Amino acid sequence: MSDELLLRSRAAEGPLLEVQDLHVHFAGRGRLFGPTPPPVKAVNGVSFTIDAQRTFGLVGESGSGKSTVARAILQLVDIHAGTIRLAGDDVTKVPRRDELAFRKRVQAVLQDPFSSLNQTHQTRTIVGDGITRHFGLKAGEQRDERVGRLLDDVGLSREYLDRYPYEMSGGQRQRVSIARALAVEPQLIIADEATSALDVSIQSQVINVLREIQRSSGVAFLFIAHDLEVVRHVSDDVGVMYLGSLVEQGDADGIYEGPTHPYTEMLIASIPVPNPTVQAGRRALRQSFDNDAEPPSPANLPPGCPFENRCPVAMDICREEVPAAVAAHHGGRVQCHLHTSGPELGGESVVEFITKEARTLT
Amino acid sequence: MTESQLPSEPSGDASPAKPDSPRRRFWRRMFRNPLGVFSMIWFAILIVAWIWPELLATHDPFKQDVTLQRLYEGPSGDHWLGTDQFGRDFYSRVIHGAGLAFRSIIIAMTIAVGVGVPLGLFSGWRGGRLDRAIMWVNDVFFSLPIILLAMAVIIILNPSLDNAMIGVGIAMSTRFTRLTRAVTLQEKEELYVDSARITGLSTRTILSRYIAPNLMSSLIVQAAIISGAIILIGATLSFLGIGSSLDDPDWGVMLNRGRELFRVHGVWQIVPPGGALILTVLAFNLLGDAIRDAIGRDASNNALTITKRVSVAPASTSHAEGDDVVLSVRDMDVEFPGTDGRISQVLEGVSLDVRAGETLGVVGESGSGKSMTMLSALGLTPAPGRMTRGSVQFDGRDVTNLSEGEWQQIRGKDVGIIFQEPIAVLNPAIKVGKQIMEPLMIHMDMNRDEARARAAELLAEVRVPDPERRLDQYPHEFSGGMAQRVGIAMALACEPKLLIADEPSTALDVTVQGQILDLMAEVQQRRNMAIILITHDLGVIAEAADRVLVMYGGQVMETASAGDVFFNPKHPYSKALLDTMPQNHSGEGALAVIPGVVPSATAWPAGCRFAPRCAHAIDDCVTTMPPLEQVESDMVRCLRHGTDLVLADPAEADA
């Protein structure tokens, strides 16, 4: 108990999760003859913090490294450089003897609701295993009662105690995953594309469950998704990743309404709005970003800004120098030369500038 | 937290029907397989012979005929399988031999599984250099002849069948190590193992309770087949005189004696031991096969095989008129027979029209029948489903009862299909160019050079940079977006009149999605093609569709122009879908949801299929199935339409 109190008090002082200059590299697989290819730089200097009881949304395209950030925090991949702190404690590389304690503090809900559950176990075991491991409560009526209360929390009736994963729909399985994460009473839950595989109508149900749980238990979320629209609705703060870099981060609504990085604006412009009239107007904006360039390989990053070859407003400096992070109007930070060179936007929204530029281009 | 605040999942009626448990399905399939039944009966007999040989044996297997009158006899009433050179009863000796055979299996298997499985688990889980070292040693042992290993053990210890079996066990353990390691390596990458690690479970728990159960099925199959091999090896050793003593009722020893004697005393001397041996080895292999088949997935469940259409009842409404109608479907029913004899109607009375130059968006949650509608309209109803009612016209021609051969002509040439996973459609082993050229050569009568030139043109049309070079690349060299462009190029290859796009952009990044939709619109304009766009994303519909078909529970709920569906939806389901879009959520508070889940096709609600989840349902909706009614140029299936029901949100209409 005293440990927990200590943690709480520390949490009150600083952020719950603090990721600083995180680098994750995957070694290239060498051929039998010939040189070893360069490592894939999946995460390339990412820093962010999550306060207790808050939700940080991490958004980006496939290959942006957002899931690797999650796996690094969860100790599932080796970290090349950087530090991760949880309520002040260094958890960059958790030693084996501390692993159990760490697992109790950080839990996860993973993407695929089918393969993330063990097909051979019933819900009572899937959710109950963690209770046994962390609270020493053996399988039986008492543990079932506790699992049952968790099922209440995620909106499943107790009949689901003896269901197998293959007897449940995607949404129901994801609720079981959430109950499993909640079972150990963690401080942080990482939701990695937890709702991406679900229908929109079911996705909203699951998101509401997550919000309600945060309200009642105070757990913090790292919510990872490729859909900025969903991330915005779930998160207090948002980070936008591109090719291993966190190119922009800050207040969720602030970013959505006034993005300061052209990539963020590209993401927002690409979301089709369910309104034909509005969407017809947005199409032109989206098309201003259209070029057939593909993102560079994370094994062979360009010397300058990684977004340069897809950016509609790239300048000479973008090809040469990696932009440094500067303060943005939404209270966060952005890595883009537009704020210090060229138009010198100084952390303001790029929307107006890009719209104007796009018009002069076409 | 109170119940009412929570979007809760209803249990009971709306939840999917509980399917057969895997265990019950396993035994049902085992008993349905005649070879499996044969092997199980044979083993039942052998097991009785092993545990209680006196129950089956008619004589003492060691009792010799001291009178020397009844040696080398054939089958008779007293000696069912005849007698051997000492006048001992063959039948009883074969029965007692079963015990020796099982003893061999148990010794060898205990060692093989006991060493092989833990070693494979450890090696696969640890990975890295240690894994490679273990597997290197394992492979050395794997390549040694089994009999050689058995002999080595006999030399070190002393000659006996038991000691020989220790050697066989060591040799066989290498098979289990390989198998276990392969499964462990594969399962280790699965998300559920990650989940277990995140939960904090110990490695031992993960290996024993997560990975081992998934290993079990392949292990049992392997064990059955290896047991057969062990019996054969035991017999071989005995045959060579290395294993059992000459007096033992060992099948191999008996076989050897029979071989020495049959030239003089007739071929019968080798039949009883040889027959027992062959039947047992055969039974082990058949058992292995039967178990594998019983565990395996039902291939016919997923395969896209086409069933013959039989007696399709005619549609009760007439097709849309006009030269520009490309595809017209009326009153289509599609049924699937269930495993328990119940029939599930996956589509009911589906009607749709799509005209040249028009994009029809088909929208609905998963399980609503969107993809099934397209497959069935094109004669691709997956087996064992079949179309039982309705009428389909393609390009003015009645195609309802076409044979598969006739359909192939139309589908290959006049219909192009784009799938959700572009990479899955491309054969990874064949160059992309060749895959685009193939349909051109079949359907357009082009020669190689013409087809190649056209393929390059097509790639250029879908804006794949550097098409000539790209033609000679393999699918894995394409990103998701580029692969989908290739998919579109292939679909466009034969100048189709109709392009069907089943979630074409769902698997792609949002920034690429727009490019693909733009590309489709561009090609459509150039070729005046009809497009059917299946998607669950109303944003995509708003971007690309002219008309919209809203499906739910295998039925059409509403068809209307895109503008009407968004600004003046007539069906509560259309409205509910719109409301759940996060973009339509304003301010704080919970997101709008459609409570519950899509019902399964085996348990449709009696009345309106959407009624259990509908915010506007009245008592009649639960009991009466609403008809699909024509309202001006649109159609709607709702009892409350035209009454006091108000769905449209004026604020949205202004937007």
Per the CB < 8 A criterion, the answer to whether B291 and B283 are in contact is: no
Q: What is the DSSP letter of A63?
A: T
- Inter-chain residue contact A201 with B365, CB threshold 8 Å: yes
- Inter-chain residue contact A130 with B200, CB threshold 8 Å: yes
Listed in sequence order, the residues at least 6 apart from A36 whose beta carbon sits closer than 8 Å to its beta carbon are: A27, A28, A30
Domains of chain A and any CATH numbers? 2-114+185-242 (3.40.50.300), 259-361 (no CATH)
Residues B466 and B562 in one domain: no
- Inter-chain residue contact B595 with A205, CB threshold 8 Å: yes
Rounded CA separation A150/B200 (Å): 18
Which segments of chain A does DSSP mark as H helices, in order? 2-13, 66-73, 99-105, 123-135, 141-153, 170-183, 200-217, 228-234, 252-257, 262-270, 276-287, 316-320, 351-361
End-to-end CA distance of chain B, in Å? 37
Quote the minimal CA–CA distance from B413 to chain A in Å: 29
Nearest to A103 among B16, B200, B562 (CB): B200
Q: Tell which of A55, A59, A100, A118 to mutate to test the B interface (max B CBs under 10 Å).
A: A118
| Interface check A211 vs B, CB under 8 A | yes
Residues B455 and B571 in one domain: no
- Say if residue B511 is exposed, middle or buried (CB neighbours under 10 Å; 0-12, 13-18, 19+): buried
Q: Which of B580, B646, B642, B576 is nearest to B611 (CA)?
A: B576
Nearest to A274 among B191, B584, B590 (CB): B584
Residue A294: its chain B contacts at CB < 8 A?
479, 481-482
Q: Is A198 helix (H, G, I), strand (E, B) or coil?
A: coil
In-domain check, residue B379: yes
In-domain check, residue B15: no
| Pairing verdict, β B530-535 and B498-502 | parallel
| Interface check B191 vs A, CB under 8 A | yes
- This complex has an ipTM of 0.84
Listed in sequence order, the residues at least 6 apart from B137 whose beta carbon sits closer than 8 Å to its beta carbon are: none
| Interface check A9 vs B, CB under 8 A | no
Phi, psi of B387 (to 5 degrees): -80, 125
| Interface check B465 vs A, CB under 8 A | yes
Q: Which of B221, B216, B224 is nearest to B293 (CA)?
A: B221
| H or E element at residue B437 | helix B432-443
Q: Domain count for chain B, please give it.
A: 3
Q: Which of B267, B215, B250 is nearest to B88 (CA)?
A: B250
Listed in sequence order, the residues at least 6 apart from A215 whose beta carbon sits closer than 8 Å to its beta carbon are: none
Q: Which residue has the tokens 């889940």?
A: B597
Report the sign of the C-alpha dihedral through residues B433, B436, B438, B442, in that order: negative
| Pairing verdict, β A333-335 and A237-242 | unpaired
Residue A167: its chain B contacts at CB < 8 A?
16, 18-19
Query: What CATH number is given to the structural domain containing B403?
Result: 3.40.50.300
Final residue before a domain boundary, out of B521, B545, B569: B545
| Interface check A207 vs B, CB under 8 A | yes
- Inter-chain residue contact A208 with B539, CB threshold 8 Å: no
Q: Which residue has the tokens 């029907």?
A: B17
| Interface check B8 vs A, CB under 8 A | yes
Assigned token pair, B268: 């019968």
Final residue before a domain boundary, out of B497, B513, B545: B545
In-domain check, residue B310: no
Residue B514: its chain A contacts at CB < 8 A?
270, 272, 283, 286-287, 290
Q: What is the DSSP letter of A329?
A: T
Assigned token pair, A110: 């993973």
**Burial B538-572, CB ≥16 within 10 A → b, else e:** bbbbbbbbbbbbbbbbbbbbbbbbbbbbbbbbbbb
Q: What is the DSSP letter of A82?
A: E
Residues 223-262 of A with CB under 8 A from B: 226-230, 232-233
Q: Is B51 helix (H, G, I), strand (E, B) or coil?
A: helix
Report the sign of the C-alpha dihedral through residues B552, B556, B562, B567, in that order: negative
Range of the domain at B356: 351-545
Residues B478 and B597 in one domain: no
Closest-approach residue (CA) in chain B for A118: B192
Residues B530 and B571 in one domain: no
| Interface check A97 vs B, CB under 8 A | no
B490-B494-B497 Cα angle (round to 5): 105
Per the CB < 8 A criterion, the answer to whether A156 and A172 are in contact is: yes
Final residue before a domain boundary, out of B497, B522, B545: B545
| H or E element at residue A246 | strand A245-251
- Say if residue A300 is exposed, middle or buried (CB neighbours under 10 Å; 0-12, 13-18, 19+): exposed
Residues 102-141 of A with CB under 8 A from B: 102-104, 106-108, 110-112, 115-121, 129-130, 133-134
End-to-end CA distance of chain A, in Å? 65
CB pairs under 8 A between A and B: 215
Residues 141-200 of A with CB under 8 A from B: 152-153, 155-157, 159-160, 166-172, 175, 177, 180, 184, 199-200
CA dist list (Å): A63 to A298, A319, A323: 8, 21, 21
- For residue B337, the tally of other CB atoms under 10 A from its CB is 12
Nearest to B542 among A121, A216, A273 (CB): A273
Residues 521-540 of B with CB under 8 A from A: 536-540
In-domain check, residue B235: yes
In-domain check, residue B273: yes
Task: Read off the pTM.
Answer: 0.82
Per the CB < 8 A criterion, the answer to whether A160 and A123 are in contact is: yes
Name the stretches of chain B with pLDDT < 70: 1-21, 296-310, 339-341, 587, 648-655
Residues B511 and B431 in one domain: yes
- Inter-chain residue contact B198 with A272, CB threshold 8 Å: no
Nearest to B192 among A116, A232, A272 (CB): A116
In-domain check, residue B306: no
Residues B74 and B192 in one domain: yes
B252 half-sphere exposure, CB direction, 13 A CA radius: 21
Q: What is the DSSP letter of A97?
A: G
| Interface check B412 vs A, CB under 8 A | no
- Inter-chain residue contact A180 with B578, CB threshold 8 Å: no
Q: Which of B39, B484, B498, B499 is nearest to B287 (CA)?
A: B39
Assigned token pair, B408: 């192939």
Residues B523 and B569 in one domain: no
| Interface check A62 vs B, CB under 8 A | yes
In-domain check, residue B3: no
Closest-approach residue (CA) in chain B for A310: B511
Cis peptide before B384 (omega within 30 of 0): yes
CA–chain centroid gap for A332, Å, is: 16
Quote the minimal CA–CA distance from B448 to chain A in Å: 29
Q: Which of B585, B581, B564, B580 is nearest to B631 (CA)?
A: B564
Per the CB < 8 A criterion, the answer to whether B287 and B224 are in contact is: yes
Residues B70 and B113 in one domain: yes
- Inter-chain residue contact B510 with A270, CB threshold 8 Å: yes
| Consecutive 10-residue averages of pLDDT for chain A (362 residues) | 49 82 84 73 94 94 90 94 94 92 94 83 93 93 94 90 87 92 95 87 89 92 92 94 95 94 92 88 81 79 91 92 94 94 90 80 53
Residues B193 and B268 in one domain: yes
Query: What CATH number is given to the structural domain containing B214?
Result: 1.10.3720.10
Closest-approach residue (CA) in chain A for B579: A201
| H or E element at residue A223 | strand A220-225
Quote the minimal CA–CA distance from B382 to chain A in Å: 22
Q: Which residue has the tokens 């120098």?
A: A321
Quote the minimal CA–CA distance from B428 to chain A in Å: 21
Q: Which of B503, B641, B492, B463 is nearest to B568 (CA)?
A: B641
**Burial B33-60, CB ≥16 within 10 A → b, else e:** beebebbbebbeebeebbeebeebbebe
Per the CB < 8 A criterion, the answer to whether B326 and B497 are in contact is: yes
- Inter-chain residue contact A200 with B580, CB threshold 8 Å: yes
Residues B217 and B271 in one domain: yes
Nearest to B591 among A170, A204, A289 (CB): A204
Rounded CA separation B96/A167 (Å): 48
| Helix, strand, coil percent content, chain A, rounded in steps of 5 | 40, 20, 40
- Inter-chain residue contact B9 with A155, CB threshold 8 Å: yes
Residues B249 and B383 in one domain: no
In-domain check, residue B11: no
Rg (chain B; Cα; Å): 34
Residues B539 and B572 in one domain: no
